Amino acid sequence: METLSLKPPARSVPIGTLARVIEALEALGTDPWPILARHGVSPAAMHEPMAPVALSVCAAILADAAEASACPHLGVLVGARANMENAGPLRLLVLSSGTVRDAVEGILRYGRIWYRGIDTALSIREGFASFSVEIDGSFTGREELASAYIAANVQLFRMLLGKAWSPTAVHLSRPSPVRAGPYTAHFGTHALFGQPRDEFLFPAETLEQRRGITDKGLESSVVRYLSELESHVMPDFLGQVRQAIRDLMLLGECTATRLASLFAVHRFTLHRHLQDYDTSFAQLLDEEREALAGRLLSGTDMPLGDIAGVLGFKTQAGFNKAFLRWRGVSPGTLRAGQRRRPRLTVRRG
């Protein structure tokens, strides 16, 4: 794999993404510009919608805007306004694709050209497809941003399948809100909160659905252009490995051998590549376990035994020992002083 030595790109999204935040705030009667100004964004900056803005800045603006407008579900309102205007020629590819699968694969492959640091993935299990959004790290507004991008991708599916389309289920990592109604209103189905990942589920057969109006010539031209752009984007190998670890962990299949198979290499080859980055499978798995454990402990009342199972520990005692090493306290002690939340359990598949 010749690209493995390249460094990952900056974490950024097109600044034009903030246009949807501006629209949502104005609809709520809140002036958006004082909020954006606090984060260094001026009206002039919006004249170049494809220019990158740091992902952390975008998330902080969304969190600030939600507080200023007294609208905790602002992320969903922003995502509901998604129209792919800030995805360059990717919008043309999606709308000219022959099947839903072709369109989704285009989003997954080429979206990273402009949306760097937001990992999207498609997986199929027991007859259902899962479209997931993963934003790595811990920073202000992360949960709001994840909710916004789940809402946005549901909206993109409606561009493909019609306005009446709704997913079968929606799982969000954010804690349960005081009002769940706005989430149900957009998604068209009840959302589960405090889940291990941000995703929406739908029947896998939907992917094979053909679209009424397609243009194969346009699709081929756009693919050639996007492939040229893609060749100049440095791949985030470690990001791909972390995403694969998260997926396998939730499937209960996270081993070095299974991970290596996803990259079509022997596990010893994968080990050497990871050594080039001064890391290892064990270290990355440990880091991803700690990050997910922290989110589940702070955002849900999921039983500790269930959390241990999600993280891949055979026993709760093993989880307790690892958490003590990570944070210096047991998971039960950490949770004891936190505000209680509605009890949640993991739904798989």
**Residue 54 CB neighbour total at 10 angstroms:** 16
Residue 125 has a pLDDT of 87
Predicted pLDDT of residue 215: 56
Contact of 116 with 12, CB cutoff 8 Å:
yes
The alpha carbon dihedral of 17, 18, 22, 25 has a sign of positive
C-alpha to C-alpha distance for 175 and 296, rounded to whole angstroms: 9
Could you tell me if residue 84 is left (phi over 0), alpha (psi between -120 and 50 degrees) or otherwise beta?
Answer: left
- Residue 270 is predicted with a pLDDT of 86
Ranges in the chain, pLDDT < 50: 1-9, 339-349
pLDDT digits (tens, 9 = 90+) for 229-244: 565 555 678 888 888 8
Q: Which residues does 321 contact at the CB level (< 8 Å), separation at least 6?
A: none
Per DSSP bridges, beta strands 52-54 and 198-203 are: unpaired
Beta-carbon contacts of residue 201 (< 8 Å; ≥ 6 apart): 128, 129, 130, 167, 168, 169, 170, 171
pLDDT at 107: 85
SS3 322: helix
Q: Is 168 helix (H, G, I), strand (E, B) or coil?
A: coil
Question: Could you give all domains of the chain from N- to C-terminal order, each with its CATH number?
Answer: 10-216 (3.90.1520), 237-336 (1.10.10.60)
pTM listed for this prediction: 0.72
pLDDT at position 1 is 27
* Residue 127 exposure: Cα atoms within 13 Å on the Cβ side: 1
According to DSSP, the residues that pair with 52 across neighbouring strands are 14
Q: Which residue, 174, 5, 168, 4, is CA-closest to 73?
A: 174
pLDDT for residue 239? 80
